[in-house]
Amino acid sequence: MTDTRVVHPALKTRATELFGVDHPVVQTGMGNVSDARLTAATANAGGLGILAAGLLSYDELVTAIDEIQAATDKPFGVNVRANQPDVHKRIDLMISAGVKVASFALAPKQDLIAKCKDAGLVVMPSIGAVRHAEKVASWGADAVIVQGGEGGGHTGQVPTSLLLPQVTDAVDLVVIGAGGFFDGRGLVSALAYGADGIAMGTRFMLTSDSPVAQEVKDVYLSKSVNDTVLTTQVDGIPQRVLRVGPIAQIEKTRPAARVLRAASNARRFQKISGARWRDMVGEGLAMRKHEDLTWSQVVMAANAPMLYRTALIDGNADAGVMATGQVVGMIDDLPSCDELVSRIVREATDVLERFGA
C-alpha cells in the first residue's frame, strides 16, 4: 500500500542520500527481534532495515544476510558488537556481501571504523551522550543513532528532546534520533531539532513482520507509557524494560542470588548458542575494560540473552524480560512495515504541508 503522493522535499535528507533509501526511517538492530524477515521488510518499505547480529553465530549471520538479499535488492545494515572476538571476520563478510551500513551498539575503535570506511561501509554507532558523538566523529564515523532516555533497552537519563539538539549542535554527522518516535509528527520534530531521520525499535517490533510471538505482542499493546522501568538489575547496565514478569522479583533479589542466577543463565545460553566459553569470557573481559563494570556486573550481563529469549522467542512473557521504550503506550496496532513507513511519511508530509500553508 505504498503511498503514491509526492513526498515532501524536506523528507529527502542527508540520511536518505547516505544510506541510499527512500525515507529517513531506520529500524534498529534489536537482538532476537531484528531478523532477516523484518530487516528485508523494512528495506522493501523504503527505510533502512538493520539486522541484529550480536546474538548470531558467524554461520547464522551468513545465512541471515543471504536471506535478506534473496528478499530485497534494497540497502540494509547489520548491527554487530565491537567487542565480539570475531568482529573483524564479520566485517569482512559484510564487505564481501555488499552490506551498506555497519551499525554498532558499542562504539568501535578507530582502526575498525577505518577498516569499514576503506571498504565503503557506512559506519553508524549508537550513542547516548554528546561526548560519545564527538568521539566517534573524531574517529571518522559517518552517522550516529542518538538514543534518548525514553528509548528501550540500554539507555541513558537524558530525554531525546534535549539530547538530540545537543548532538546536532556538536557534530557535523548524519544524525538519527531514537527514543520516543512512532509516527510522522515525531519525524518532523526530529528534523526540526536538526536530525536527518528517526530510528525506531519498539514501533518496528510491534509490526506484523516482526518475529515476536503474538501473545507477547499483545502484552506490549496492553501497556501504557507508565508501565516501563529503567533498571540495572538485568545485566548491570541501565536499560528500559516493561514492568512485567521477573523484573519486580529481580529488583528484590539479593546481589549474591542475582549473580548465581546469571551464572546459570550463562550456561543455558552457551548450550543454546553453541558459543565457546573462551569467547564468552573474552567478551566479558572486554565489557569490564571498556564499560568500567564490576565483576558482578560482568557476570550479570550473561542474564540478558536468556531472559530476552524466554519472552521474545519462547513467548513466555511471565518468565522473560521485555525491553521497550516508553513509546509502547502510544502504540495500538500491528501494521506491516510497508504500512507503517508509508503512514509515517504521509503523516510527516501532512504536517510539513500544514506548516507551509
The model's pLDDT over 9-19, given as tens digits with 9 standing for 90+, comes to 999 999 999 99
Per-residue exposure over 21-53, b if at least 16 CB sit within 10 Å of its own CB, e if not? bbbbbbbbbbbbbbbbbbbbbbbbbbbbbbbbb
Between residues 200 and 245, the one the model is more confident about: 200
Region 24-53: mean pLDDT is 97
Between residues 60 and 231, the one the model is more confident about: 60
For residue 166, pLDDT beyond 90: yes
| Amino acid 92: pLDDT | 98
Which phi and psi angles does 261 have, rounded to 5°?
A: -65, -40
Q: Model confidence at 209, in pLDDT bands (50, 70, 90)? A: very high
pLDDT digits (tens, 9 = 90+) for 247-303: 756 555 555 555 565 555 555 544 544 545 455 455 555 554 555 555 555 555 665
Q: Model confidence at 356, in pLDDT bands (50, 70, 90)? A: confident
For residue 170, pLDDT beyond 80: yes
Give the C-alpha separation, 186 to 247, whole Å.
Answer: 30
| Amino acid 323: pLDDT | 85
Region 30-41: mean pLDDT is 96
For residue 219, pLDDT beyond 60: yes
For residue 61, pLDDT beyond 50: yes
| Amino acid 217: pLDDT | 94
Per-residue exposure over 159-184, b if at least 16 CB sit within 10 Å of its own CB, e if not? ebbebbbebbeebebbbbbbbbbbbb
For residue 99, pLDDT beyond 90: yes
Domains of the chain: 9-213+332-356 (3.20.20.70), 224-323 (no CATH)
| Amino acid 277: pLDDT | 46
Region 232-240: mean pLDDT is 76
356 grid coordinates: 507551509
Those residues with Cβ within 8 angstroms of residue 312's Cβ, 6 or more apart along the chain or in another chain: 32, 33, 211, 212, 213, 216, 320, 322
